[in-house]
Structure 1
Amino acid sequence: MERTRIQKIFSISNPSEFEALALEVFQFQYQQNPTYHEYCNHLEKTPSNVLASQEIPFLPIAFFKTHKITSSPHKPEIIFESSGTTGSISSKHYVRDTSIYLESFRKGFAHFYGPVEDFCTLALLPSYLEREGSSLVYMTNDFVSKSQHSSSGFYLYDLEMLQEKLLQLEKEETKTLLIGVSFALLDLAEQFPMDLKHTIVMETGGMKGRRKELIREELHGILKNAFNIQHIHSEYGMTELLSQGYSKGNGIFKTPPWMKVLTRDTEDPLSIQSHRKSGGINVIDLANVDSCSFIATQDLGKTYVDGSFEILGRFDQSDIRGCNLMAL
């Protein structure tokens, strides 16, 4: 994918620019991605008869487990691999150019929170650090390394040291980001409750089989009470995407300008629904230029007129994933 198109993707400023680039990327991926090309042909959807982004076919996310989803002939710089239950097949995302991922998550975070350099970043992602190929660890490691604060870093199971660090940062009124997997944040909340006035607590979802699954309201209620804060923030991302949605509270997510979420009818998966109806989550992530930008996930949710969305759960019988919110 030529650099000029990538620059256009990350400088989208309005819906018409998004629409034009979505159709351009669709045409490119239809031509360059063999698996996606075959899938679109099976549906009789081609650039000649797809005239709007909502008509673009969304590739079922399970294809990332069974096929090499790539729109580039070049060797990937990195392969991200999903977490999952023991014995399950992992998704693989072949990322040709890591600079695109870096640009996407840095600009995406800054779009909602300002430069990550302004934060002391504390990462509580023990399960992710115990395996190779986590896109979440890659992103968080970059946040830590770009931080101007000496206390930024990863914390595995030493929750007492993390508490001491957080209390010290609170005393200094340091702007802090605590990003963690749900089960680890619950462990911290139960063992070391404390007041966090200058800290954003951000959960990335996932009990990973360590604890009983909780609905979002229950999880957030426990964390809010333990840390005496009004809102728990959330990150919505996955191995198969190079962009993330963020929620600043109440489970309502927003996306950066180059990412869009729609819902499909659960009875007719090729039909896009109107807002406020529960359905399968479809994601357009234009940062996925070298793989596939149009993905039908296994999450259930709702979209709203302002472009925000919420996650309501998972389709039955789909794998438990590391990077999704808790199923209802």
Structure 2
Amino acid sequence: MAPDIVTDLLDFMDRPQAGDDEFNALALRLFAHQFRHNLAFQRYCQQQGKTLRTIKHWRDIPQVPINAFKDLTLSCVRPERCERVFMTSGTTRADVKGRHYHPHLRVYDRSMALHFSRRFMRGAQRLRMGILFPTEDMMPNSSLAHYLALALRDFGAPGSGYFVNPQGMDTEGLCDSLARAQRDGEPYALLGASYSFVHFMDELRQRGLAFSLPPGSRLFDTGGFKGQSRELAMDDFYRQLTASFGVPASACTNMYGMTELSTQFYDDGNATLPAVKSGPHWIRSRLVDPLSGRDVPTGERGVLAHCDLANFNSVTTILTEDVGVAVDGGFLLLGRAQGAQAKGCSMAMDAFLQAARA
């Protein structure tokens, strides 16, 4: 990747006032780079009749089906030159993991820090944090492990720490940490996978324990349940979080992210469900018909496609398998594609593989 593009990208991310024209210009520059250096992507674009001459707007950039990260190497540089490879959890195809190659983590880390500071920290410089997820040493290819490590390093106050170790959850240590925060009146932030919260709340229930964390405390969950815990309806989940920790649903942030992206979406609390998800100014989303790739009419359900400028080395534009609907301020996440939409995603994937392997 040409250093000047990375420099311009980081500068764009640092400026929240950056507008649509600048986003479009950067997206087109990144498309040109990826078209030239990502051969699988180039072949697919050519099959679709999309070239450097015909792409005039970021919405015109071909959407790469998310499962392509499992079957192909989507990288503008050789994989062995990459500083980090993040891998998917393999919950949909356990035998195959998607791989996202990062030549360096400067862009990914900046994306995390800027968005996390504004949307979760909300003016606080540091908070005492508890992390309900393994460390990077335990899971070196997990983007979430890295994400939470950054949160702890850059935003955690003294007394912060991990409460998952190779033996499992450190329930005693976490209970002690929460009790200390409750006693000291110091706001506390608990972050982790959604299923980790379920495991801990089940343990609290067995012990007959509940906490009332101080005002300013907040919770951060991500990833869904993925068969790692009992399934909960979202309203039940946040109701139980409030009962277990004394933190209102309005102070519970859910992150919608994926290994294949370098930017994540947050909501502004879960007092009303489903909550509106939105991202920072360097990612844009569309609701599309997966068969045609065209936007669905306003107000209709479509499959989410994201254009993430922080994906500078792979592909900027990804067709997910998640259904949503556009609303003021972002989108509502409604679940996985089913029926005709799922078939459309599958057909888009088949078309991509046929082109990329030609």
Coarse TM-score class (shorter-chain normalised): 0.7 to 0.9
Within-5 A mapping of 1:133-148: 133-147=141-155
Tell me the alpha carbon deviations over residues 269-327 of structure 1, each in whole angstroms, 9 at most, x when there is no partner.
Answer: 41122443211111111011011111111111122243x12211112498xxxxxxxxx
1:103 pairs with one of 110, 130, 134: 110
Displacement, 1:131? 3.9
CA distance in 2, matches of 1:150, 1:283: 37
Q: 1:275 to 1:97 in 2, by over 3 A?
A: farther
Displacement, 1:7? 2.7
Q: 1:61 to 1:285 in 2, by over 3 A?
A: same
What residue number does 1:258 align with?
A: 282
CA distance in 1, matches of 2:153, 2:9: 25
TM normalised by structure 2 equals 0.81
Q: Is the CA contact (8 Å cut-off) linking 2:193 and 2:221 kept in structure 1?
A: yes
SS in 1 for 2:200: helix
Q: 1:305 to 1:174 in 2, by over 3 A?
A: same
SS in 2 for 1:51: coil
What residue number does 1:238 align with?
A: 258
CA-based RMSD: 2.4
Tell me the alpha carbon deviations over residues 84-131 of structure 1, each in whole angstroms, 9 at most, x when there is no partner.
Answer: 248431111111011221111111212323477512221102598754
Structure with bigger helix share is 2
Q: Is the CA contact (8 Å cut-off) linking 2:135 and 2:149 kept in structure 1?
A: no
Paired positions, count: 316
Which structure has the greater CA radius of gyration?
2
The reply to whether residue 193 of structure 1 matches residue 210 of structure 2 is yes
Displacement, 1:148? 5.2
TM normalised by structure 1 equals 0.88
Displacement, 1:43? 1.0
Tell me the alpha carbon deviations over residues 149-184 of structure 1, each in whole angstroms, 9 at most, x when there is no partner.
Answer: 222111111223212212212333333321111122
SS in 2 for 1:180: strand
Q: 1:32 to 1:139 in 2, by over 3 A?
A: same
Task: In structure 2, list runs of 5 or more residues that go unmatched.
Answer: 343-358
CA distance in 2, matches of 1:244, 1:116: 20
Q: Is the CA contact (8 Å cut-off) linking 2:129 and 2:189 kept in structure 1?
A: yes
Runs of 4+ in structure 1 deviating by more than 6 angstroms, as ranges, are none
What residue number does 2:14 align with?
A: 11
What residue number does 1:276 align with?
A: 299
Within-5 A mapping of 1:154-169: 154-156=162-164, 157-169=169-181
What residue number does 1:326 align with?
A: none
When structure 1 is superposed on structure 2, of 37-46 and 216-225 the one drifting more is: 216-225
Q: Is the CA contact (8 Å cut-off) linking 1:204 and 1:236 kept in structure 2?
A: yes
The reply to whether residue 291 of structure 1 matches residue 298 of structure 2 is no
SS in 2 for 1:288: coil
CA distance in 2, matches of 1:77, 1:126: 20
SS in 1 for 2:10: helix
CA distance in 2, matches of 1:31, 1:145: 37
The reply to whether residue 63 of structure 1 matches residue 68 of structure 2 is yes
Amino acid at match of 1:82: T
Within-5 A mapping of 1:204-215: 204-215=222-233
Displacement, 1:264? 1.0
Q: Is the CA contact (8 Å cut-off) linking 1:261 and 1:303 kept in structure 2?
A: no
When structure 1 is superposed on structure 2, of 146-155 and 75-84 the one drifting more is: 146-155
Amino acid at match of 1:241: L
The reply to whether residue 93 of structure 1 matches residue 100 of structure 2 is yes
Task: In structure 1, list runs of 5 or more residues that go unmatched.
Answer: 319-328
Q: Is the CA contact (8 Å cut-off) linking 2:302 and 2:323 kept in structure 1?
A: yes
CA distance in 2, matches of 1:149, 1:287: 28
Q: 1:84 to 1:182 in 2, by over 3 A?
A: same
Amino acid at match of 2:183: K
Amino acid at match of 2:112: F
